[in-house]
Amino acid sequence: MTAALRPGTVTRYAVGSVGTGGFGTLPGLVLLYYLTDALAVPALVAGGVVTLAKVWDVVVNPLVGYASDRDLARTGSRRRLMVIGGFTIPLTFALTFAVPPGLDPWMSATWVFVAFVLTATAFSLFQVPYIALPVEIAPTYDDRTRLLAWRVAILAVAILAFGGGGPILRGDGDELWGYLRMGVVAGLVIGIGMLVAAGAAPRGPAQAVAPERQPVGVVIRGAARTARATLARSQAFRALFFAFVLQALGVGLLLAGAQYVATYLLESEAAVTLLFAALIAPALLTMPLWSAVTRRLGKERGFILATVLFAVATAAMIPVIWSPGPWIYGPTALAGIAYAGLQVLPLAMLPDVVEDDARRHGAGAGGAFSGLWTAGETAGMALGGTLLSLLLAATGFVPSAAGVDVTQPSSALLGIGIGFSVLPALLAAASLPILMRYRLRRGDFDRSELSQEASP
């Protein structure tokens, strides 16, 4: 029989969402705006900086997953990479927002690119093994839902704190010093959350003889083969993965567009804090509702329901294009209710996919799954910012330096509104046919758990 899930383990694991929430929210919210409206980097170049940095992240995540699986086999734990990432990210995160005053836009863009690549690498060292842990520390189908529900509850608090508090800590965006202050404080908090969560990684006996060191090229090819094989052999993972990536793309658009909506449509930079409060507070309050929905309908039906609700909510934001006003907080709150489900349910389904694969093909591939998952999530969130930057460039958005006010053409305002409403709604709707192909159900795991309990 497997050991029960302990409250201390749930707490330590959930605290890791302070790190994932901070890194997932703050760069998506302010990095593109930092480049275009504080460093005077053209929108197309700024989008390229964010995208190329995330492309590196997509490349490195499967490598980290491969290394994490080897760590587990060699030492019996995934903890080592998580600790390295937790200690490294405070410095690299602060450096991302430490561009010296007076640097020309191209040098500024290069500085941000290099620093953010280092930050993304540090985050990957933590995030990939972190996502692989639930199937190793939560023994049953319902335990994994409980573990991930607490994690997403902390994630919602973290998103609210970073999304609302980050801009407050930065100030009105007229001084580069405010961005640096934000980067230092946020980086420290993110790193502390990661290090606490590393304590949730179980320590066990080595599962295999320590593998010999291999040349970098061999490691890269091995990681690529493992990732391809993992994706090819699990239909459930493919359905869950591609649906989640499309939704991450929509959420990435929403996050990247919030600051522009606040500044240029609602005409108040401070309104971004209210937008985040409207999005995340309902998510936090309705988290128990999604757990109840899961128990009654199953994770897969709950995920479909959350996706439909998110599509409806973002479609209801479309009038912001021609009639911006405080009414936008209403559909944003509805999107927040859906957002809670979009976070907790796929993350609770991923360990089920890993367990199903372990039954069919043998254990030890959790890092490969989590590496692909993190790469897909990262790509989706990054391409959300890329799509917005392309939309801004195509509609004539005018970049500016810190402290310089500009008037945007009506075409740019139209682009901001479309990026915040129309595109997220379409992406959520497009994910539904893919999600409906997910085949795993509670009964598949109930039978397995009964079989384990009957074993001597």
Residues 387-400: pLDDT tens digits? 888 898 899 888 77
Which among 114, 154, 113 is positioned nearest to 130, based on CA atoms?
A: 154
pLDDT at position 10 is 86
Band (95; pLDDT cuts 50, 70, 90) = very high
Considering the domain boundaries, does residue 208 fall inside one?
no
Residue 439 pLDDT exceeds 80: yes
Eight-state DSSP code of residue 213: P
Residue reference for tokens 């795991």: 445
Residue 401 lies in a domain: yes
- Over residues 427-445, the mean pLDDT reads 86
Q: Are 379 and 58 in contact (CB under 8 A)?
A: yes
Task: Please write the tens of the pLDDT for every residue from 334-369.
Answer: 998 998 888 878 877 888 888 887 777 666 566 677
Could you read off the pLDDT of 161-211 as tens digits, one per residue? 887 788 788 876 567 888 999 999 999 999 999 999 998 888 876 555 445
What distance in Å separates the CA atoms of residue 30 and residue 56, rounded to the nearest whole number? 20
CB atoms within 10 A of CB 358: 15
For residue 312, name the pLDDT band (cuts at 50, 70, 90).
very high
Residue 234 in tokens: 């699990």
Confidence band of 452 (pLDDT split at 50, 70, 90):
very low
**Domain contains 82:** yes
- Asked whether residue 2 is assigned to any structural domain, the reply reads no
pLDDT of residue 156 exceeding 90, the answer is no
Q: Specify the pLDDT at position 414.
A: 92
Please indicate, yes or no, if residue 128 is contained in any of the structural domains.
Answer: yes
What's the pLDDT score for residue 427?
Answer: 95
The count of structural domains within the chain is 1
CATH code for the domain in which residue 109 is found:
1.20.1250.20
In a domain, residue 382? The reply is: yes
pTM of this prediction exceeds 0.85: no
Give a yes or no: residue 394 inside a domain.
yes
Q: How far apart are alpha carbons 178 and 264 in whole angstroms? A: 20
Angle at 285 between CA 347 and CA 198, to 5 degrees: 40
**Burial call 91-118: b when 16+ CB within 10 Å, e when fewer:** bbbbbbbbbeeeeebeebbebbbebbbb
Selection from 252, 261, 192, 353 nearest residue 28 by Cα: 252
Domain that holds residue 111: 10-203+218-449
Beta-bridge partners for 401: 39
pLDDT of residue 314: 94
Residue with tokens 């491969």: 66
Quote the crossing angle between the two packed helices 105-132 and 176-198, to the nearest 10°: 20
Give the dihedral sign, CA 294/298/303/308: negative
Give pLDDT, residue 217. 57
- The answer as to whether 320 is a domain residue is yes
More confident residue, 319 or 230: 319
Lowest-pLDDT range, 10-19, 46-55, 114-123?
46-55
And the tokens for 320?
């912001």
Read off the amino acid at residue 33.
Y
Plot region of 76 (φ>0 → left; ψ -120 to 50 → alpha; else → beta):
left
Q: Read off φ and ψ for residue 276, nearest 5 degrees.
A: -70, -40
What value does the mean pLDDT of the chain take? 82
Integer angstrom CA distances of residue 86 from 199, 372, 373:
12, 21, 20
> What is the pLDDT at residue 334?
94
What is the mean pLDDT of the segment spanning 300-318? 94
Reported as a single tens digit per residue, the pLDDT across 207-231 is 554 455 555 555 566 666 666 777 7
Q: Which range in 122-126, 281-285, 440-444 is most confidently predicted, on average pLDDT?
A: 122-126
- Residue 147: which pLDDT band, with cuts at 50, 70 and 90? confident
Residues 6+ apart with CB under 8 A from 29: 162, 163, 166, 167, 255, 256, 258, 259, 272, 276
Residue 237 has pLDDT above 70, yes or no: yes
- Can you give the length of the chain in residues? 456
CB 224 within 8 A of CB 59: no
What letters, b where the CB count within 10 A reaches 16 and e where it falls short, cover 403-429?
Answer: eeeeebeeebbebbbbbbbbbbbebbb
Per residue in 19-75, pLDDT tens? 888 887 788 778 888 898 888 898 888 888 888 887 787 788 878 888 888 888 888
Radius of gyration of the chain, Cα coordinates, nearest whole angstrom: 21
* Tokens representing residue 248 in the block: 């991450």
